[in-house]
Structure 1
Amino acid sequence: MGNISRKRKHAVASAVSNLPLAKNETVELIIEDLSHEGNGVGRYEGYTLFVPGALPGERILAKATKLKKQFGYARLMEIVEVAASRTKPLCPVYRRCGGCTLQHMDYEAQLAFKRKLVEDNLRRIGKIEGVPVHPTLGMKDPWRYRNKAQVPIGEEEGGLIGGFYAQRSHEIIDMEACLIQHEKSDEVVARVKEIASKYGIRAYNEETQQGLLRHVVTKVGFATGQIMIVLITNGDKLPHKEALTQELAQVIPGVASIVQNINTRKTNVIFGDTTRVLWGEEYIYDTIGAVKFAISARSFYQVNPVQTELLYGKALEYAALTGDENVIDAYCGIGTISLFLAQKARQVFGVEIVPDAIEDAKRNARLNDMDNVTFAVGEAETVIPQWYEEGNAADVIVVDPPRKGCDERLLDTIAAMKPERVVYVSCNPATLARDLRILEDGGYRTVEVQPVDMFPHTNHVESVAWLKRI
């Protein structure tokens, strides 16, 4: 195939699949847009190609790597004309890692892309036109924003390595620094590798299921400076436990908790069921705004506390509480949004399917001396309809669902309960648009939407939407 003419290539491709190009063929493209994944979008003779690393406005040469009936993927080979939005990635392992898909794009352009992503989904999926989508709220310094790191551990030449998985593989690439993680996380991982190696602790091997240390998880309280180290092990016994933990606590300032989590299953899931404190406390603490939170090894806690304060502040603004309202917080997690709302509501009812999260939520309410919050375990789509049947109405309902969005039963219940306002916090513009359409058909109007950049240099965007009863 490599020796036949371009015309012959097209004839072969057309005969096989009616496509205008063949696999491994290099073509010239003008990049017109970005996909929701952050890939460049170009068209060759009407056929759509997605090109990772390419930016709108660029003229490129791209090699077709995977072709489907309606679209395909190509590898960026050469940039003939460079977009003004292109910038040099700061991370030395950016290309190999794949964690930050937009680091080659100027930050202001990233924010504009994320706003457009929300607008496009509202129009295309939700059929919602004319709703103001405000400029994305970004960070003054969009680096070192993650308060949590989960680092797989491996071995190389007799020593421990830890870093990230190479794209589309489970090959661990050793790493000294991740520019979106808190600097303390880099220090913790480096010290654990060094000290555990000194004591002869072996890394877990996925293929043989032998070895002990699987992952190191770090959590950092941005406001308090407290650090938690979680050692995830393939077994109950941790050799030299006392010496290891004492040395870690001595060499890393700010360590308040060292925890072991035991996971002996043959799984990609990071945490196992058993957790025990090896040194220090069970919890570390952090604050978002005026609210204090206790964070355990298994607690879900927003990974970007700086932007979380903006996100929840906007949710509180849209809720427009005066102190007389009953508020329901669906998918409440450990109570982060609930406690923000409780500062200004008469009563807040939170519901979450994970029992441990509800226990954390109750603990956090006590920690903040808030007695106007009630938490319940269960599916939001089951518990809230029960509350409604029991006569518990809500003036405002706040939802913060997972990426799959809200269950339709919950949306139907919201429409039946007829709260004056609905505040929808979303991590997925597509399911946000779908659910806003359902709520609008149920008697609500979307007033405005505010995107928030919780994860700079990635294609992810959070949004807060305000809906009003009509």
Structure 2
Amino acid sequence: MARDVCLAHPDLKPYDPKTHIGFLRFLMLRFGVNTNQIMVNLVTAYDDINKLSPLIDALLEQVPEITSMVNNVNTRKADVAFGEFETLVFGDPFIQETIGDLTFEISANSFFQTNTTQGKHLYDEVVKAAGLTGSEIVFDLYCGTGTIGLYLANQVKEVYGFEIIRSALEDAEKNAQRNKITNAIFLKANLDTFFKSGQLPRRIPKPDVVIIDPPRAGMHPDMTNYLHKFKAKKIVYVSCNPTTQARDAKVLAEKGYEIKSATMVDMFPHTPHIETVMLFSK
């Protein structure tokens, strides 16, 4: 349907990442499987909401299930769906999804597990690996919208989440408030440099457990080499890329940590992709 609309309106020209000419870059969808909510994220090469109008009108008319629509504008050459700014087109600037007893707000640029059912199994494996007693200080690195930290917040003393994307942090804070969680604090941090350069406020205590859920590229070498300085009893490493996880695991082993357990979660059935949950301790 979207393709037909674009073909009927020459102004809706697809963006060519080689020549950097064109308007439409991506049409991204996010689903709340347990809430039946749908977000449409129209990513364009520049800001022109009037040019988008035929596509917007057609989508809202033919897909009444849509609950949120936003326009992310990415004027950079990088071929990514993350815009420099965002315009709300319809509904709320987020959708909601539930995992366990928690309800999460998810915006267009925030990371959230796409397979919610398996996401719960994944988080259960994190809790199992951490072996929580209720007295722990937990650092949740690359926390995104705070899902892992908030999922285990009622089983620990305090959770500190660290994330570089501002919109994800805002979602994390809203999610904590929505779920009446008061022992979770979120900080904006570029983890490539944050700890190494001494930016951690002194008021924040050292962690007993560190949870890591980095992007596919894994951790920056400076972050990997700094981890042992926390002197955490346990490190739980969640990864969608076993190759980079193995690379980082080698560094942790050199710093004195041993792999105590490793679990695979089939997040994307019928594909070669898996998530792994690995427990390190000294």
Per the normalisation by structure 2, the TM-score is 0.86
Give the one of 247, 251, 264 matched to 1:434.
247
- Distance apart, 1:438 and its partner CA: 2.8
Residue 357 of structure 1 aligns to a residue whose secondary structure is: helix
CA distance in 1, matches of 2:222, 2:20: 43
Question: Map of 1:84-95 to 2, 5 A cutoff?
Answer: none
Q: Does residue 59 of structure 2 align to residue 248 of structure 1?
A: yes
Residue 435 of structure 1 aligns to a residue whose secondary structure is: helix
Residue 40 of structure 2 aligns to a residue whose secondary structure is: strand
For residues 295 and 434 of structure 1, do their structure 2 counterparts lie closer, same or farther at Cα, with a shift above 3 Å needed? Answer: same
- Residue in structure 2 matched with residue 399 of structure 1 by the alignment: 212
Unaligned runs of 5+ in 1: 1-189
For residues 234 and 411 of structure 1, do their structure 2 counterparts lie closer, same or farther at Cα, with a shift above 3 Å needed? Answer: closer
- Distance apart, 1:226 and its partner CA: 0.6
- Residue in structure 2 matched with residue 74 of structure 1 by the alignment: none
Residue 337 of structure 1 aligns to a residue whose secondary structure is: helix
Amino acid at match of 1:362: E
- Residue in structure 2 matched with residue 236 of structure 1 by the alignment: 47
CA distance in 2, matches of 1:343, 1:247: 44
- Distance apart, 1:370 and its partner CA: 1.1
- Distance apart, 1:340 and its partner CA: 1.3
Amino acid at match of 2:277: V
CA distance in 1, matches of 2:160, 2:184: 6
Question: Map of 1:44-443 to 2, 5 A cutoff?
Answer: 190=1, 192-197=2-7, 201-206=11-16, 211-239=22-50, 245-380=56-191, 382-384=193-195, 386=198, 387=200, 392-443=205-256
Indicate if the aligned counterparts of 1:351 and 1:383 stay in contact, CA closer than 8 A. Answer: no
For residues 264 and 453 of structure 1, do their structure 2 counterparts lie closer, same or farther at Cα, with a shift above 3 Å needed? Answer: same
CA distance in 2, matches of 1:205, 1:245: 18
Indicate if the aligned counterparts of 2:72 and 2:81 stay in contact, CA closer than 8 A. Answer: no
CA distance in 2, matches of 1:436, 1:211: 43
Residue 437 of structure 1 aligns to a residue whose secondary structure is: helix
CA distance in 1, matches of 2:251, 2:155: 29
For residues 266 and 451 of structure 1, do their structure 2 counterparts lie closer, same or farther at Cα, with a shift above 3 Å needed? Answer: same
Indicate if the aligned counterparts of 2:15 and 2:24 stay in contact, CA closer than 8 A. Answer: no
- Distance apart, 1:321 and its partner CA: 1.5
Amino acid at match of 1:417: F
Q: Does residue 261 of structure 2 align to residue 448 of structure 1?
A: yes
For residues 443 and 279 of structure 1, do their structure 2 counterparts lie closer, same or farther at Cα, with a shift above 3 Å needed? Answer: same
CA distance in 2, matches of 1:404, 1:304: 20
Indicate if the aligned counterparts of 2:129 and 2:261 stay in contact, CA closer than 8 A. Answer: no
Q: Deviations over 1:290-316 (max 9, x none)?
A: 222112222222222222211111011
Amino acid at match of 1:255: I
Residue 114 of structure 2 aligns to a residue whose secondary structure is: coil
- Distance apart, 1:209 and its partner CA: 5.3
Q: Bigger CA drift: 304-313 or 399-408?
A: 399-408
CA distance in 2, matches of 1:212, 1:323: 52
- Distance apart, 1:335 and its partner CA: 1.0
CA distance in 1, matches of 2:53, 2:220: 48
Amino acid at match of 1:431: T
CA distance in 2, matches of 1:227, 1:437: 41
For residues 408 and 193 of structure 1, do their structure 2 counterparts lie closer, same or farther at Cα, with a shift above 3 Å needed? Answer: closer
Q: Deviations over 1:374-398 (max 9, x none)?
A: 1111133544464497672211111
Indicate if the aligned counterparts of 1:203 and 1:214 stay in contact, CA closer than 8 A. Answer: no
Indicate if the aligned counterparts of 1:452 and 1:461 stay in contact, CA closer than 8 A. Answer: yes
Residue 121 of structure 2 aligns to a residue whose secondary structure is: helix
For residues 296 and 212 of structure 1, do their structure 2 counterparts lie closer, same or farther at Cα, with a shift above 3 Å needed? Answer: same
Indicate if the aligned counterparts of 2:95 and 2:107 stay in contact, CA closer than 8 A. Answer: yes
CA distance in 1, matches of 2:262, 2:26: 38
- Residue in structure 1 matched with residue 272 of structure 2 by the alignment: 459
Indicate if the aligned counterparts of 1:245 and 1:279 stay in contact, CA closer than 8 A. Answer: no
For residues 369 and 437 of structure 1, do their structure 2 counterparts lie closer, same or farther at Cα, with a shift above 3 Å needed? Answer: same
Amino acid at match of 2:34: A
Amino acid at match of 1:193: R
Identity, % of aligned pairs? 37
Residue 132 of structure 2 aligns to a residue whose secondary structure is: coil
